[in-house]
Amino acid sequence: MNAEGGLILIVEDEKGIRESTAEYLRALNYRVVEASNGFEALEMTANDTARPDLVVTDVVMPGMTGPEMAQRLRMRWPDLKFIFMTGYTEEPLLRHGEFLKSVLLKKPFNLRVLGGKIQEALAAKAS
């Protein structure tokens, strides 16, 4: 997949992770926008023309968690795809409904693995 596959929104409060992830995805020819928290992401997507095809978000962030943001975005776009980045084990996360419809990426992660997860999530969108 490449930029023709849609727009990826990265939501991550750690600037270094957010910027390196965005840089890597742009190098793979994806269109990428960045938000430093859930509130900023909701603001960026306030109108339908700013709808991302995929959201890559941290789970734990100050103010609003990734799952809380995902619930709000899915109220508008039920088919929106997510990749949740987390340093936590998957078992407790799977108890939250948002994770059942999403791809999980454990931190720390290799950018090549991220690229594969992006392809996996976007392919699920197409099917």
Note the pLDDT tens digit of each residue in 10-20: 999 999 999 99
Q: Are 61 and 87 in contact (CB under 8 A)?
A: no
State how many domains the chain has.
1
Q: Are 36 and 57 in contact (CB under 8 A)?
A: no
Looking at 1-5, 97-101, 117-121, which range is the least confident one?
1-5
* Interatomic CA distance for residues 63 and 93, integer angstroms: 18
DSSP 86: E
Instruction: Please state the rounded mean pLDDT for residues 19-25.
Output: 92
40 Cβ contact partners less than 8 Å away, ≥ 6 residues apart? 11
Q: How confident is the model at residue 125 (pLDDT cuts 50, 70, 90)?
A: low
Q: Is residue 102 pLDDT above 60, yes or no?
A: yes
Looking at 17-26, 42-51, 54-63, 117-126, which range is the least confident one?
117-126
CATH code of the domain covering residue 116: 3.40.50.2300
Q: Tell me which residue range forms the domain holding 120.
A: 3-126
* Interatomic CA distance for residues 45 and 86, integer angstroms: 23
More confident residue, 116 or 45: 45
Instruction: Please state the rounded mean pLDDT for residues 103-114.
Output: 79
Q: How confident is the model at residue 49 (pLDDT cuts 50, 70, 90)?
A: confident
- At 108 the pLDDT is 77
* Interatomic CA distance for residues 71 and 73, integer angstroms: 6
Share of the chain above pLDDT 70, in %: 82
Give residue 122's region: left, alpha or beta (phi > 0; psi -120 to 50).
alpha
Note the pLDDT tens digit of each residue in 70-93: 989 989 999 899 988 887 665 445
CA angle 26, 52, 92 (to 5 degrees): 95
Half-sphere exposure (Cβ direction) of 73: Cα atoms closer than 13 Å: 30
Tokens of 113: 């693995």
Amino acid letter, 8: I
